[in-house]
A and B are shown apart, each in its own frame.
Chain A
Amino acid sequence: MEFFDIFLLEAVLNGLLLGGLLALLSLGLNLIFGVIDVVWICYAELIMCGMYAVYYLHVQYHWPLLLAMPCAIGIVAALGVVLHQFVIRPVLGAEPINQLLVTGGVLFFLQAAATLVFGIEFKNLGVALPAIAMGEMSFSASRLVAFGVALAGMVAMYLFLKRSYLGTAIRAISQDRAIMPLMGVSPTRIFVVTSALGGALAGLAACLLVLQYDIHPAIGLSFGPITFLICVLGGLGNMLGGFIAAFLFAQFISVGGFIFHLEWGYVIAFVFFIAVMFWRPQGILGAK
């Protein structure tokens, strides 16, 4: 096989684009886990809700996309807060397994509710961005947009966490929750803000995914598990780890799929995941 051909380069670049999106997906889940110490198993279902929000606002109510999308982000952020207040908060002190079960329950609830309300047929936004040709290579514009927005979103998140008072408090609270009231910080309020942020990130991901994929009630299953695996691979709660893991994983999927066969890309990526778990069960950058 000829290795250094232009299509391999195309696969690598496509992997990079996919990596950006996966990194954005893992960011929200890692943020929630890192701060609140709870895994939102239903994270991808929040994204599904966001996709439906964009769809209905745009297709049904004819809002322009650039208005529908921020609205969808707001809706999912609100969902995140509702999820925290009514589902997570009562089990904050409970066993981790109970917390998993509860958010797992929300996953099925949202899926079933979406089936009832929206029906099972696939819905399509009907917005097709053109493919961009570069020499012999071609990239889908929606992937390019998704990559750019995902990157911008992550940079914004980084600056927020690094520079602002609230962001610093969000990082501090994961290190010593009990001491926060001495600083005049209410942990309850920080948790709500974090949940809203996690929701907003899910909403942003929804806006980007809706450009590339059809919407159906079970769509969460096509990227929920992958998001979770990436977070575990990078070290659950470690945002930098998740970032690295996302790009690694995407390369395995894209380049592996190019060299062998499309489906094999996923197989290789998951074998890589399992191998890493034997080597470093805490994840690439996770603490013991």
Chain B
Amino acid sequence: MIARGIAHVPENRRLFPRLTVEENLKMGSFVPSARKKYADNIELVYKHFPRLKERRRQLAGTLSGGEQQMCAIGRALMSGPRLLLLDEPSAGLAPVVVQSIFELVRRICTEGYTVLIVEQNIRQVLKVVKRAYLLEAGRIVLTGSASELLDSKDIQKTYLGL
């Protein structure tokens, strides 16, 4: 999958806790096609997440939740993907941190990456994405642009509590 340009940021980050930040990023570029671009990609990741550069020699297990999420996204970016899958990026993070993570995701989108997010935090995620699909019990019940979904009565009532 990763060789075809799809990178997956798994739920709960799943970093290697006893590897350093930089080693975690290195693992993201394990596939041969990505190894050649290691230097470029790591520069790019450090540009997006300067915090990771500060902590690059630190063990990933000692990072805060938000930093771990940055590291997990950075690890996925290291493969130079065409499509980035984010699985519940807000899980287990403090609300403030969630906001900054989504802000980072939005910036990544503007860099030309295609990003697919699975997320329960609807209010936050709709601020970031262009199109959204509402799944209920495994079936798509509503699709549309982010603003269409935000305006939908169903969503407002059921998910946003308005």
Contact = CB atoms under 8 A, between A and B. Distances in A.
Interface string B51-67: 00000000000000000
A131 interface: no
Given A183-B28, A184-B30, A172 B19 contact: yes
Contacts of B79: 184
Given A169-B27, A171-B19, A172-B19, A183 B14 contact: no
Question: On chain A, which size bracket covers the interface?
Answer: 10 to 19
A179 interface: yes
Given A182-B10, A183-B27, A183-B28, 20 more contacts: A165-B26, A165-B30, A165-B35, A168-B26, A168-B27, A169-B30, A171-B16, A171-B19, A175-B17, A176-B14, A179-B14, A181-B1, A182-B2, A182-B7, A182-B8, A184-B1, A184-B2, A184-B3, A184-B30, A184-B79
Nearest to A166: B30
A168 B19 CA distance: 8
Interface string B1-22: 1110001101000101111000
Contacts of A182: 1-2, 7-8, 10
Given A168-B27, A182-B2, A183-B28, A175 B8 contact: no
Q: What are the 8 A-B residue pairs with the smallest beta carbon separation, nearest first? A: A184-B31, A184-B2, A172-B16, A175-B16, A179-B14, A183-B30, A183-B27, A182-B8
B23 interface: yes
Contacts of A179: 10, 14
9 contacts: A165-B26, A169-B30, A176-B14, A179-B14, A182-B2, A182-B8, A183-B28, A184-B3, A184-B31
Contact of A172 (B7, B10, B27): B27
Interface in A177-234: 179, 181-185
B144 to A, nearest CB: 30
Contacts of B10: 179, 182
Contacts of A171: 16, 18-19, 23
A163 to B, nearest CB: 10
Interface string A139-183: 000000000000000000000000001001101100110010111
Nearest to A162: B23
Interface residues of B, number: 20
Contacts of B18: 171, 175
B31 A168 contact: no
A54 to B, nearest CB: 36
Contacts of B7: 182
Contact of B23 (A168, A176, A181, A185): A168
Contacts of A172: 16, 19, 23, 27
- The winner among A172, A176, A183 for most chain B CB atoms within 10 A is A183
Interface in B23-58: 23, 26-28, 30-31, 35
Nearest to B38: A165
A172 B22 CA distance: 13
Contacts of B17: 175
A158 to B, nearest CB: 14
Contacts of A184: 1-3, 30-31, 79
A171 B60 CA distance: 14
Interface centre among B7, B16, B18 (most CB of A within 10 A): B16
Nearest to B35: A165
Nearest to B2: A184
A169 B17 CA distance: 13
Interface string A108-128: 000000000000000000000
Contacts of A185: 27, 30
Contacts of B31: 183-184
Nearest to B33: A184
B126 to A, nearest CB: 27
A40 to B, nearest CB: 23
